Amino acid sequence: MEDNLFGQDWEIEPAGGETGKAFVAVHEDEKFFLKRNSSPFLAALSVENIVPKLIWTRRVENGDVITAQKWINNGQTLRATEMREPRVAKLLGKIHQSDALRDMLQRIEKKEYSCGQLLAIVTEYVDKLGNPDSLVAQAYHYLIEHVDALPEEPHVVCHGDVNHNNWLLSEQEELYLVDWDGAMLADPANDLGVLLYQYVPYGEWERWLLEYGQTLTCEFYLRLKWFAICQVLMAMNWQFEHSRAPELARLELLLRKIMEDEEVYVTLCE
C-alpha cells in the first residue's frame, strides 16, 4: 500500500480485520487509521461522532480511495459483558433515530431491505447450511411462517454487525461503533434482535430497550426474534463460505438459544 499512497515516508501496517482493507499508518509523528474504499457514508457518521473523526479522503494512483481517521490511543473494544451497559443502548438509539443519517445513506447507497428481501437472501443459500431436519431448517421455516405477520416498520440506518468487537471505547470514555461496510436501511430490530439475544439476559431486556428508546411489547419481541434468526442465518452462511468451523458452531448455539426462547414470549404474549 505504501507505493500507492504518498511516498516512502509512511509507516504502514495491516490493522487486521476480515477484509484486509484496514491499516495503521504513521506519518510525520501523526498516527491514523486508514481504510481502502470505505463507503462515502463514513463522512456523515464522523459528523455525528459515531465513528472516530474523519481527517481526510484521498484517491491514489490505482484508483482506490483512502480514508484517514483519527487514531484512538489505547482504544479498547468492548467486552461482551459491557454490551449490557446503557451507553451501548443510547448510541444505537441515536443511530436508529437519526433522520439525517437515514437520508444520507438513502442517497449514497440505496441499500434498503424489507423483511421479504432479507428472507429472499437467506433462501438463496439455506440448503447448504443444514439438512431438512436440522436446526437451520427449523429456523428457516420459522422465518417463512411468520414473515407475513410482521408489520413493515419505517426503515432506519442499521449497522448490520453489532458484534462487541465493533464497539470502540477511547481513554476519554467516548464510545464509537465502527466497521460500517454492511450498513443498510431496514427494521431497527435487524440490529437489536441479535444484540439482545447474544449479550443481554432476558431479565434486562426491558431496561435496556428503555435506554435505547423502545418499549418491550409482544409485537416488538416477535420482530426481535424474527430478525435475530435472519441475522444469525446470514452470519452462518458467511462463516461457512470462509470455512470457519468454530464460529459456525458458536452461531449454531446462538440460533438454538433463539429458537428455544420461551421466557420472554410467556412473559409478554400470554
Rounded to whole angstroms, the Cα distance separating 178 from 137 reads: 32
Neighbours of 58 (CB within 10 A): 12
Rounded to whole angstroms, the Cα distance separating 38 from 67 reads: 7
Contact 40, 51 (CB under 8 A): no
pLDDT at position 268: 86
Helix or strand or coil: residue 141? Answer: helix
Rounded to whole angstroms, the Cα distance separating 220 from 193 reads: 10
pLDDT at position 4: 47
H or E stretch including 116? helix 115-125
Q: Which residues pair with 54 in a beta bridge?
A: 69
pLDDT at position 7: 56
Domain-wise residue ranges, the chain: 2-70, 76-269
Q: Is-catalytic flag, 127?
A: no
pLDDT at position 262: 82
Which of 134, 115, 233 is CA-nearest to residue 185?
115
pLDDT at position 3: 45
The CATH number given to 76-269 is 3.90.1200.10
Query: What cell numbers appear for 69 in the block?
Result: 481517521
* Global confidence as pTM: 0.89
Which of 117, 90, 86, 104 is CA-nearest to residue 45?
104
Contact 201, 265 (CB under 8 A): no
Rounded to whole angstroms, the Cα distance separating 146 from 104 reads: 31
Place of cell 407475513: 148
Fold classification of 2-70 is Phosphorylase Kinase; domain 1 (3.30.200)
pLDDT at position 73: 81
Per-residue confidence in pLDDT tens, the chain, 270 aa: 444 455 556 777 766 655 556 777 776 677 888 888 788 899 999 999 999 999 888 887 777 888 888 888 888 999 999 999 999 999 999 999 999 999 999 998 778 999 999 999 999 999 888 787 799 999 999 999 999 999 888 999 999 999 999 999 999 999 999 999 889 999 999 999 999 999 999 999 999 999 999 999 999 999 999 999 999 999 999 999 999 999 999 999 999 999 998 878 888 887
Q: How far is CA 60 from CA 2, 14, 57, 212, in A?
A: 11, 18, 10, 40
Rounded to whole angstroms, the Cα distance separating 155 from 112 reads: 8
Active-site position among 148, 161, 179, 187: 161
